[in-house]
């Protein structure tokens, strides 16, 4: 009997990077996956959410991705997708819908609410007979509402090889550092499926629990956020899964995808003043072999003297670039100065404190837009803070609140449609 | 006197002394143990009295009564009876004054009521000095004897929890019902986090009405269990979340064993437990000690090695899942949620360890917050633990030393962490722990030693209430707290009657795929 | 040894009480018509409904302070009204009245006299207590002496209460009772003391005017049969022999005297009662009663005598006795009251000289305990 197999990919976040080098690497990673799928002759591909970075992503990135997917389709391999938390559009159609309508990909989320219960329809892969069903993500974990009303019994009783596709963190399996992240308990998922194709968690993991087939998160393919780069730099593997099955899953194999080398360096400024820190940092970075690699530098701690703006990061970046690093990212969110940390607040009101903080630190943030610098920038920061401080109105749902705050913020920043 | 007032007269004071006032019951009024009575004094003031004992009074000498009874019993006087029985045979009530109420509020009474004054049954408006607190936790309605008044009793949750609560009662007196009612009331507002260790799986309402049916359940409740129903969380805790201090006071380690644990922790950090289970040998630890530690972990956590894999018999502890469980529980508690942990399918040791892990973390966070001057930003967190002597008994504390629960009981008030301890055996809890528990919700208890232990540690003088406590029926309680003016008799409603079901949501859900 | 003596005593006594011949009621006075003591005299009480009230009256008194030459008494009178076993509340009269009396000696014409003054606790009760003019006695008056000895002042002092009972009863008849109602005093209808007859006559006249029947029930009886047995004892034996175990009345004698004008009966008011009592009805009034009325009256008594504590004795009299009594405890209180008044007016020394002439016994009691 022919072994059947499918590929399980998630969180490719195509369009996440504008920077040419990163955009290139991102496209390359996706290309590797598609090529490998053709090579492996998988029967179908599941992309469990966040194929794209947004509902209307950068078209250049979309173009690259579409070409690769087209090749896969030409090879007779269907691509089944669900929305992720990023690539859906709450107000209308997203890129996923457009590609679905062309037949390039197939959304496997279909259902209706009958007598208060969400009845999902299985989609059957014609080649293998595998049955797929799933629930797309919404922002801030709002898909949990669908799980509350899901008609699980009908799904559980369905015979055959079933795959549940979802894009949510699971309480039981999320890592400790994501404890605050919105997630759902596994009990929300219907039982007795042969495979659970997860997405949204950017680190790969495989789990088993009684009454559930393998629950798998492929992790992000390249990187969707700075934290992903850090994890990759520290050794986290990126890739996707190929799953062999018959009546049940026989093998779950992780296929690593590496598109660049990463070098990670961290430096703690504690007990050093800004001059010492600059000097030592420079010295340590000089010794790094970053040629042709992605350089991630993390600077953190509390300066014993001087200000954070005393550290010349642009200079350090330039040095690394000259050493051949293909991309440099210096993370200094954990860096504080003693004056900043120990600022006395007696006698000052909160507004005064905030104003001083903004003014002192606005210079430490690299900004290309002049409107965000200096006095104007400080004023904008105040206004934004005021907006995000707003509380939800009585009876206002979390979703409506989020949208209202977002809209107010957009208005304040006077962003045009292209910049939103 | 108005006819209404005449009808309300329950009796008349005829003597006695402070804490032992004697009154004669008006015939037919059926004064009960625990009844609240009122003596009106001039200028709108009044004394509230409480009945703690009843006895027969008679104008007929004892020997004559015995003879009379003999005549009746032996059929000698079928036509004979007591004439004017209500005048000559009556009930005497022993009462004590519990509150003196004036315009300024209620105080501890220091005077006797006017001699020979009439006494009436209490009315709801007599209790108007009991004001609903800002953070109300509902306990029930005021009870006078077995009569229930239409007057709700609340305690301030902030004060009550931080000063700890003891719920002493024998089986079948309504402990679980009380806790459910309190939690339902707490769930109305997200003001306190409550950790509920539920060894009988009776609070959530898996197969019956329970806390899951609260209108705010989605936002305020989280249920952890080994085999969760849809929407509930799996009770699974990663071994890396277990720290050596979580065992403190719960498991008896020898000095050698403690030293070994320290070494493993130093070397392997949060993987210390896994390495012990796997039998990883390290310098400074003998293999015999390692074997003992493995056995202790097996007994307490039901975790062991099998075919090279770490297996947990009760599926609660895992080396791969549950990394964020403790953190999530703590975050939920700090957001004011009620977290119910179903421990019915796991051992006592495991239950207490889970509770210890959470309590330690919460306590630690609150200590840090206090050190940084941020304690006011923290919500009060309460921990409900059943069969409290497991961790609070003198024997346990002497044998294993202090544990987090006793630490919370002794110091929790300073850090806004409170204990709600449920127990059948108050007498085994050391006095210094009991005196720190400032609210006792006393349910019925037929054991004299237990009643004495409760009475001795109560916030009010309950020395004359032994009989009253013994006669408490299911659902009847006495709330003795430093936050009440007197020991308040309450009737706790049946949870099923009290808990109003969540209305089906009117909001239409739109599914867009 | 005392057991042996007791045995011999009892044996001897038994030989002196002969129940073989019960005899007949013994009255020496020719103005008394007696009825034979045989079973035909038993009248079973037929329970008959009679719409009426029964007022039971009793009095009590105790010496508060006493000396050979004066006696201060607290006197108390009480009444209760009943319809069978149900109490009926009085319309207007106080249920109980009290008055102090002070009896003191004087010597006039070489004779010792005792006079009594009365002091009602509530002044409005003056009309219910005897006139002081009726309470003056020669200490050698035969109606007050016992044997040939001078009357004890304490005994004379009690007469105020005796007269007061009749007076009080008269007021009850006037204000509380209606035609057909029954008045019961806790004694016979025989008067003893000088002037007492006037009070009884007053009562009987008032009662006849209103149609109220005057009766009296005695707890004790010293009547004899002509074979030397106690009359009540003999009747009990007769009843036992006759199998009369139900409620009954038994006419004993009709008395036609100025100081005693009554129909005397014995009554057993409950089948389980161990005691029978002497009951008297004003003679003329008895003559006017029908059998039905008599049964009706006794039906009231039967129903009122069904109290478990004292079967066969009217509860109304138990009640009246309890509230008319002056207890020794009260005596102590009033003694203190009197003494304090004596002190206030500075007469303590004067009166205590006289009190000491009589109180040695009290001192001994106190010493012995």
We report the CATH number of the domain holding residue C134 as 3.30.2170
**Residue ranges of E strands in A143-292:** 162-166, 169-170, 183-184, 195-197, 205-209, 212-217, 239-245, 249-256, 262-268
Tell me the average pLDDT across A352-369. 68
Question: β-strands C248-256, C261-268: how paired?
Answer: antiparallel
Distance separating alpha carbons of residues B19 and B462, to the nearest angstrom: 10
pLDDT at A194 over 90: yes
Angle between helices A374-389 and A398-413 (to 10 degrees): 160
Indicate if C318 and C171 belong to the same structural domain. Answer: yes
pLDDT at A349 over 60: no
User: In chain C, what percentage of residues exceed pLDDT 70?
Assistant: 100
Distance separating alpha carbons of residues B412 and B163, to the nearest angstrom: 8
Indicate if C351 and C322 belong to the same structural domain. Answer: no
Q: Which one of A8, A13, A17, A86 is the catalytic residue? A: A86
- Pick the range with the lowest mean pLDDT from B358-362, C122-126, C361-365: C361-365
**B8 vs A24, more confident:** A24
What is residue B339's three-state secondary structure? Answer: strand
pLDDT at B3 over 60: no
Q: For chain C, how far is it from start to end, CA to CA, in angstroms?
A: 29
Contact B509 A176 (CB under 8 A): no
pLDDT tens digits, A163-183? 999 999 999 998 888 888 888
Indicate if C107 and C169 belong to the same structural domain. Answer: yes
pLDDT tens digits, A119-159? 999 999 999 999 999 999 876 566 778 898 899 999 999 99
Distance separating alpha carbons of residues C55 and C177, to the nearest angstrom: 8
> Containing domain of residue C353, as a range?
339-368
A270: phi then psi, degrees, rounded to nearest 5: -55, 135
Q: Which fold has domain A261-342?
A: Transcription Regulator spoIIAA (3.30.750)
Q: B328 touching A, CB under 8 A?
A: yes
Distance separating alpha carbons of residues B443 and B166, to the nearest angstrom: 10
Distance separating alpha carbons of residues A236 and B106, to the nearest angstrom: 67
pLDDT attached to residue B167? 96
**Residue ranges of E strands in A93-238:** 106-107, 111-114, 117-120, 123-124, 131-135, 162-166, 169-170, 183-184, 195-197, 205-209, 212-217
pLDDT attached to residue C45? 96
C1 occurs within a structural domain? no
Tell me the CA distances in angstroms from C117 to B280, C103, C104, C129, C142, one per residue in order: 116, 6, 9, 11, 22
Contact B77 C311 (CB under 8 A): yes
pLDDT attached to residue A366? 63
Distance separating alpha carbons of residues B194 and B183, to the nearest angstrom: 8
**A12 vs B314, more confident:** A12
Contact B230 A149 (CB under 8 A): no
Residue B494 neighbours by CB under 8 Å, 6+ apart: B177, B475
Q: B327 touching A, CB under 8 A?
A: yes
Closest Cα partner for C254 from C243, C244, C265? Answer: C265
pLDDT at C324 over 70: yes
pLDDT tens digits, A197-216? 999 999 999 998 889 999 99
C303 occurs within a structural domain? yes
Indicate if C281 and C344 belong to the same structural domain. Answer: no
Contact B335, B324 (CB under 8 A): no
Contact A345, A315 (CB under 8 A): no
> Where in chain A are all domains bearing CATH 3.60.21.10?
4-256
pLDDT-derived band at C214 (thresholds 50, 70, 90) equals: very high
Tell me the average pLDDT across C172-185. 97
pLDDT at C357 over 90: no
Mean pLDDT of chain C: 92
What 3 state SS string does B399-432 have?
HHCCCHHHHHHHHHHHHCEEEEEEECCCCCCCHH
Contact C32, C251 (CB under 8 A): no
Q: B56 touching A, CB under 8 A?
A: no
Indicate if C137 and C269 belong to the same structural domain. Answer: yes
pLDDT attached to residue B271? 94
pLDDT-derived band at A420 (thresholds 50, 70, 90) equals: very low
pLDDT-derived band at C339 (thresholds 50, 70, 90) equals: confident
Contact A282, A319 (CB under 8 A): yes
Tell me the CA distances in angstroms from A278 to A268, A281, A311, A312, A330, one per residue in order: 11, 5, 6, 7, 13
Q: Which CATH superfamily is domain A4-256 in?
A: Metallo-dependent phosphatases (3.60.21.10)
Say which DSSP state B270 is in. Answer: G
- Pick the range with the lowest mean pLDDT from A380-389, B440-449, C60-69: A380-389
pLDDT attached to residue A371? 72
Q: Give me the numbers of helices (H) and strands (E) for chain B, helices first please.
A: 18, 23
Say which DSSP state C69 is in. Answer: T
- State yes or no: chains B and A have 3 or more CB pairs below 8 A: yes
Indicate if C302 and C267 belong to the same structural domain. Answer: yes
**B92 vs C272, more confident:** B92
- Please give the residue of chain B at the shortest CA–CA distance from C87: B84
pLDDT attached to residue B4? 46
In this structure, the number of other CB atoms found within 10 A of the CB of residue C39 comes to 13
Distance separating alpha carbons of residues C216 and C57, to the nearest angstrom: 9
Indicate if C62 and C143 belong to the same structural domain. Answer: yes
Contact B453, B427 (CB under 8 A): yes
pLDDT at A345 over 50: no
Q: How many domains does chain C have?
A: 2
Contact B380, B412 (CB under 8 A): no
Question: For the structural domain made of B136-216+336-498, what CATH number should be given?
Answer: 3.40.50.300
Among B residues 73-132, those touching chain C with beta carbons less than 8 Å apart: 76-77, 79-84
Determine which helix (DSSP H) or strand (DSSP E) holds B440, and give its type and residue range: strand B439-442
- Helix residue ranges, H only, chain C: 2-16, 153-157, 159-175, 196-210, 231-242, 283-287, 291-304, 315-324, 328-344, 348-355, 360-368
Indicate if C215 and C356 belong to the same structural domain. Answer: no
Closest Cα partner for B357 from B195, B203, B493, B482? Answer: B195
pLDDT at A19 over 70: yes
Say which DSSP state A324 is in. Answer: T
pLDDT tens digits, B27-62? 999 999 999 999 999 999 999 999 999 999 998 899
pLDDT attached to residue C360? 81
Residue A157 neighbours by CB under 8 Å, 6+ apart: none
Tell me the CA distances in angstroms from C101 to A92, B49, B450, C157, C321, one per residue in order: 113, 44, 63, 7, 20
Contact C223, C241 (CB under 8 A): no
Mean pLDDT of chain B: 91
Distance separating alpha carbons of residues B256 and A31, to the nearest angstrom: 58
B82 Cα to chain C: minimum distance (Å): 5
Tell me the average pLDDT across B340-350. 92
Tell me the CA distances in angstroms from C259 to A401, C190, C199, one per residue in order: 111, 6, 11
Strand partners, A262: A294
Angle between helices A59-74 and A20-40 (to 10 degrees): 10
Asked about A86 being catalytic, the answer comes back as yes
Contact A149 B509 (CB under 8 A): yes
Sort B216 into a burial class: Cβ within 10 Å, 0-12 / 13-18 / 19+. Answer: middle
Among B residues 281-320, those touching chain A with beta carbons less than 8 Å apart: 315, 320
Indicate if C349 and C231 belong to the same structural domain. Answer: no
Nearest to A172 among B230, B321, B327 (CB): B321
Indicate if C272 and C345 belong to the same structural domain. Answer: no
C192 occurs within a structural domain? yes
Kindly list the domain boundaries of chain B, sorted by start residue.
3-127, 136-216+336-498, 240-312
Contact B12, B25 (CB under 8 A): no
Contact B511 A113 (CB under 8 A): yes
Indicate if C247 and C198 belong to the same structural domain. Answer: yes
Mean pLDDT of chain A: 86
pLDDT-derived band at A413 (thresholds 50, 70, 90) equals: confident
> Where in chain A are all domains bearing CATH 3.30.750?
261-342
pLDDT-derived band at B218 (thresholds 50, 70, 90) equals: confident
pLDDT at B501 over 80: no
Contact A264, A234 (CB under 8 A): yes
Contact B83 C306 (CB under 8 A): yes
């Amino acid at each position: 009997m022919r072994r059947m197999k499918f590929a399980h990919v998630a969180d490719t976040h195509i369009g996440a990077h504008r920077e040419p080098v990163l955009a290139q690497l991102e496209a390359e990673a996706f290309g590797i996956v598609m090529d490998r799928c053709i090579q492996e002759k998988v029967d179908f591909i599941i992309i469990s959410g966040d194929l794209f970075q947004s509902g209307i992503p950068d078209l250049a990135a979309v173009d690259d991705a579409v070409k690769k997917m087209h090749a896969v389709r030409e090879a007779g391999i269907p691509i089944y997708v669900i929305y992720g938390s990023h690539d859906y559009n709450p107000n209308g159609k997203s890129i996923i819908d457009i590609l679905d309508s062309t037949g390039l990909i197939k959304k496997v989320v279909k259902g209706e609410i009958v007598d208060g219960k969400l009845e999902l329809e299985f989609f059957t892969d014609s080649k293998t007979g595998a049955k797929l069903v799933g629930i797309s993500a919404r922002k801030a974990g709002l898909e949990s509402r669908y799980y509350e009303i899901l008609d699980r019994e009908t799904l559980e009783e369905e015979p055959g090889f079933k795959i549940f596709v979802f894009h949510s963190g699971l309480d039981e399996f999320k890592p400790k550092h994501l404890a605050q992240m919105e997630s759902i308990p596994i009990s929300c998922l219907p039982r007795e499926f042969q495979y659970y194709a997860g997405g949204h968690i950017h680190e790969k993991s495989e789990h088993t629990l009684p009454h559930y087939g393998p629950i798998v998160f492929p992790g992000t393919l390249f990187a969707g956020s700075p934290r992903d780069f850090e994890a990759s730099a520290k050794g986290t593997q990126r890739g996707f899964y190929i799953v062999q099955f018959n009546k049940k899953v026989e093998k779950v194999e992780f296929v690593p995808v590496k598109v660049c080398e990463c070098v990670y360096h961290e430096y703690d400024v504690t007990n050093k003043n800004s001059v010492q820190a600059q000097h030592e940092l420079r010295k340590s970075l000089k010794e790094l072999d970053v040629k042709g690699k992605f350089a991630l530098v993390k600077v953190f701690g509390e300066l014993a003297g001087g200000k954070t703006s005393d550290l010349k990061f642009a200079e350090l970046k330039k040095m690394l670039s000259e050493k051949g690093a293909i991309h440099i990212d210096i993370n200094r969110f954990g860096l504080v100065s003693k004056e900043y940390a120990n600022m006395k607040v007696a006698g000052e009101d909160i507004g005064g404190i905030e104003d001083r903080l903004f003014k002192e630190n606005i210079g430490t943030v690299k900004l290309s837009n002049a409107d965000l610098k200096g006095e104007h920038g400080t004023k904008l920061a105040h206004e934004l803070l005021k907006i995000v401080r707003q509380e939800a109105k009585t009876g206002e749902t979390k979703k409506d609140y989020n949208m209202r705050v977002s809209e107010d913020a957009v208005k304040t920043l006077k962003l045009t449609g292209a910049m939103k | 006197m108005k006819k209404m007032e005449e009808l309300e007269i329950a009796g008349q004071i005829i003597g006695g002394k402070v804490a032992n006032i004697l009154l004669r019951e008006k015939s037919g009024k059926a004064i009960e143990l625990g009844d609240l009575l009122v003596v009106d004094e001039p200028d709108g003031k009044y004394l509230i009295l409480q009945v703690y004992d009843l006895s027969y009074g008679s104008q007929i000498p004892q020997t004559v009564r015995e003879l009379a009874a003999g005549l009746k019993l032996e059929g000698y006087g079928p036509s004979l009876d007591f004439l004017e029985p209500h005048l000559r045979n009556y009930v005497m009530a022993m009462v004590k004054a519990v509150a003196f109420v004036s315009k300024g509020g209620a105080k501890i009474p220091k005077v006797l009521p006017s001699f020979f004054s009439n006494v009436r049954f209490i009315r709801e408006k007599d209790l108007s000095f009991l004001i609903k607190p800002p953070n109300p936790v509902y306990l029930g309605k005021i009870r006078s004897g077995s009569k229930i008044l239409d007057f709700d009793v609340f305690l301030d949750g902030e004060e009550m929890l931080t000063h700890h609560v003891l719920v002493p009662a024998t089986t079948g007196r309504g402990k679980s019902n009380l806790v459910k009612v309190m939690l339902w009331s707490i769930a109305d507002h997200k003001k306190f986090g409550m950790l509920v260790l539920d060894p009988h799986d009776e609070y959530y309402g898996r197969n019956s009405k329970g806390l899951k049916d609260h209108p705010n359940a989605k936002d305020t409740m989280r249920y952890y269990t080994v085999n969760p129903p849809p929407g509930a969380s799996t009770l699974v805790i990663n071994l890396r979340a277990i720290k050596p201090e979580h065992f403190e006071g719960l498991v008896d380690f020898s000095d050698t064993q403690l030293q070994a644990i320290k070494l493993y922790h130093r070397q392997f950090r949060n993987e210390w437990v896994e390495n012990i289970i796997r039998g990883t040998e390290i310098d400074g630890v003998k293999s015999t000690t390692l074997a003992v530690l493995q056995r202790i972990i097996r007994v307490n956590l039901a975790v062991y090695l099998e075919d090279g894999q770490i297996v947990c018999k009760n599926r609660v502890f895992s080396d791969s899942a549950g990394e964020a469980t403790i953190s999530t529980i703590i975050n939920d508690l700090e957001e004011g949620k009620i977290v119910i942990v179903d421990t019915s399918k796991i051992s006592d040791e495991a239950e207490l360890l889970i509770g210890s892990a959470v309590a330690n973390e919460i306590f630690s966070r609150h200590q840090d917050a206090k050190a940084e001057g941020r304690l006011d930003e923290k919500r009060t967190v309460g921990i409900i633990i059943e069969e409290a002597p497991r961790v609070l008994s003198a024997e346990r504390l002497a044998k294993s030393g202090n544990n987090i629960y006793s630490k919370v009981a002794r110091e929790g008030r300073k850090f806004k962490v409170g204990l709600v301890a449920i127990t059948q055996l108050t007498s085994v809890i050391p006095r210094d722990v009991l005196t720190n528990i400032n609210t006792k919700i006393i349910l019925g208890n037929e054991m004299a030693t237990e009643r004495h232990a409760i009475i001795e540690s109560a916030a009010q003088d309950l020395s004359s209430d032994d009989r009253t406590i013994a006669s408490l029926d299911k659902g009847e309680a006495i709330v003795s707290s430093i936050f009440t003016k007197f020991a308040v008799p309450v009737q706790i409603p049946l949870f099923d009657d009290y808990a109003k079901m969540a209305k089906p949501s009117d909001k239409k859900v739109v599914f867009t795929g | 040894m005392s057991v042996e003596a007791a045995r011999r005593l009892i044996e001897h006594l038994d030989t002196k009480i002969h129940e073989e011949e019960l005899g007949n009621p013994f009255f020496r006075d020719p103005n008394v018509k007696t009825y034979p003591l045989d079973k035909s005299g038993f009248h079973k009480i037929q329970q008959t409904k009679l719409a009426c009230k029964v007022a039971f009256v009793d009095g009590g008194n105790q010496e508060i302070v006493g000396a050979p030459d004066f006696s201060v008494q607290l006197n108390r009178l009480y009444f209760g009204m009943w319809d069978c076993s149900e109490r009926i509340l009085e319309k207007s009269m106080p249920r109980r009245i009290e008055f102090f009396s002070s009896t003191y000696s004087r010597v006039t014409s070489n004779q010792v006299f005792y006079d009594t003054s009365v002091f009602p606790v509530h002044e409005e009760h003056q009309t219910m207590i005897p006139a002081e003019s009726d309470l003056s006695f020669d200490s050698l008056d035969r109606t007050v002496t016992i044997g040939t000895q001078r009357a004890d002042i304490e005994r004379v002092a009690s007469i105020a209460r005796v007269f007061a009972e009749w007076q009080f009863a008269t007021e009850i008849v006037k204000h509380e009772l209606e035609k057909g109602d029954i008045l019961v005093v806790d004694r016979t209808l025989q008067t003893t003391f000088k002037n007492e007859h006037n009070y009884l006559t007053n009562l009987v006249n008032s009662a006849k005017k209103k149609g109220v029947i005057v009766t009296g029930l005695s707890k004790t009886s010293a009547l004899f049969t002509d074979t030397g047995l106690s009359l009540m004892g003999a009747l009990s034996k007769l009843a036992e022999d006759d199998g009369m175990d139900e409620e009954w009345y038994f006419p004993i004698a009709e008395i036609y005297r100025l100081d005693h004008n009554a129909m005397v009966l014995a009554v057993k008011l409950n089948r389980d009662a161990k005691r029978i009592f002497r009951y008297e009805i004003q003679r003329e009034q008895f003559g006017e009663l029908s059998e039905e009325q008599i049964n009706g009256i006794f039906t009231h008594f039967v129903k009122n005598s069904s109290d478990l504590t004292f079967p066969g004795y009217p509860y109304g009299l138990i009640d009246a006795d309890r509230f008319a009594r002056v207890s020794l405890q009260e005596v102590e209180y009033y003694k203190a009251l009197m003494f304090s008044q004596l002190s206030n007016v500075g007469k303590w020394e004067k009166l205590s000289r006289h009190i000491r002439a009589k109180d040695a016994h009290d001192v001994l009691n106190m010493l012995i305990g």
